[in-house]
Amino acid sequence: MGNHVRHLTVNGSALTSGGTFHKVTIRGDATINGDLWCDRCKVFGNADVSGNIAVKLFRIFGQANIRGNIQGETIKLFGAMNLRGDAAVAYDFHLCGSAHIDGDVTGGTIHGYGEMKVSRDCEADVFSVKGAVEIGNTLNAEQIELYLHFSDSRIAEIGGKTIRIKRSKAMSILHFLKRFARESAKLKAETIEGDDIYLEHTDAKMVRGDRIIIGPGCNIDFVEYHTSLQQDEKAIVKEKRKRS
């Protein structure tokens, strides 16, 4: 991306074409036609981009609708992002709001709180989210922490080394929303596979791993474990098998 001296600044409402910039700052309502390459992009308000975005640091305070792919080093989202394509975030994807992604997501660390919907696959080194997560196919990460909050989460397949699914304690910053939250938030999954697994309030067909703890509120059809299995008295496991 290099050291581009051109900047793009939008104050108010504007329609502009894409291009290559050092800094892009949007205060208000911008429609950008075409691809956007920049080192840093800040949105205060609303940005509609009909193209792909390549960016080092992307900060959204408001809403971004992107009809393409996004490739970046760091995304900090305080608001809402709707993405038609794929998201590839090398280092850090920080969520504080809602992200709806029609394609795949790949990242270093994906973390934060709010709502995340991914139509296809999500792959990261670390995935740690408080809120509601929907992933159409597979969530794959070395370390997975999901703190269930607001409403049910749905993930078809989960794979990782360390997997922790817990119901979130009320978060002080979201305390004012507590009256809208359902205390009964659950995770619904087809298969969960990992080395070290701890589950609460999870409905799954198959759980497979080395060391497994099935905590309260779980309803699991089949568990296959290698070293150890612990089961809470308030959990249902229909069938279990120890692998030799």
173 and 70 housed in the same domain: no
**Mean per-residue pLDDT, 195-202:** 98
| Confidence band of 168 (pLDDT split at 50, 70, 90) | confident
92 and 164 housed in the same domain: no
Asked if pLDDT for residue 181 goes beyond 60, the answer is no
52: three-class secondary structure by DSSP: coil
Asked if pLDDT for residue 3 goes beyond 60, the answer is no
Gyration radius of the chain's alpha carbons: 20
Instruction: Domain of residue 183: give its range.
Output: 134-244
185 and 82 housed in the same domain: no
**Mean per-residue pLDDT, 82-99:** 98
**Mean per-residue pLDDT, 28-52:** 97
146 and 233 housed in the same domain: yes
221 and 163 housed in the same domain: yes
Cβ proximity of 212 and 195 under 8 Å: no
- Domain boundary residue, one of 87, 103, 119: 103
Cβ proximity of 221 and 239 under 8 Å: yes
Residue 97 lies in a domain: yes
88 and 186 housed in the same domain: no
Residue 178 has a pLDDT of 54
Residue 1 has a pLDDT of 46
The predicted-structure confidence for 199-211, as pLDDT tens digits, reads as follows: 999 999 999 999 9
Residue 204 or residue 244, greater confidence: 204
77 and 151 housed in the same domain: no
Residue 39 lies in a domain: yes
Cβ proximity of 124 and 110 under 8 Å: yes
93 and 148 housed in the same domain: no
Domain total for the chain?
2
178 and 87 housed in the same domain: no
Asked if pLDDT for residue 157 goes beyond 70, the answer is yes
Cβ proximity of 148 and 129 under 8 Å: no
77 and 140 housed in the same domain: no
What is the rounded CA–CA span in Å between residue 75 and residue 30? Answer: 19
What is the rounded CA–CA span in Å between residue 214 and residue 109? Answer: 26
Asked if pLDDT for residue 116 goes beyond 50, the answer is yes
Residue 2 has a pLDDT of 47
Give CA torsion, residues 95, 96, 100, 105, to 10 deg: 0
Residue 177 or residue 75, greater confidence: 75
| Confidence band of 184 (pLDDT split at 50, 70, 90) | confident
Residue 122 lies in a domain: no
Residue 42 lies in a domain: yes
**Mean per-residue pLDDT, 191-199:** 98
Residue 244 has a pLDDT of 81
Residue 229 lies in a domain: yes
Residue 172 has a pLDDT of 47
What is the rounded CA–CA span in Å between residue 27 and residue 9? Answer: 8
How wide is the angle at C-alpha 133 spanned by C-alphas 128 and 138, nearest 5°?
A: 85
Give the pair of three-digit tokens for residue 239.
């069938």
17 and 76 housed in the same domain: yes
151 and 230 housed in the same domain: yes
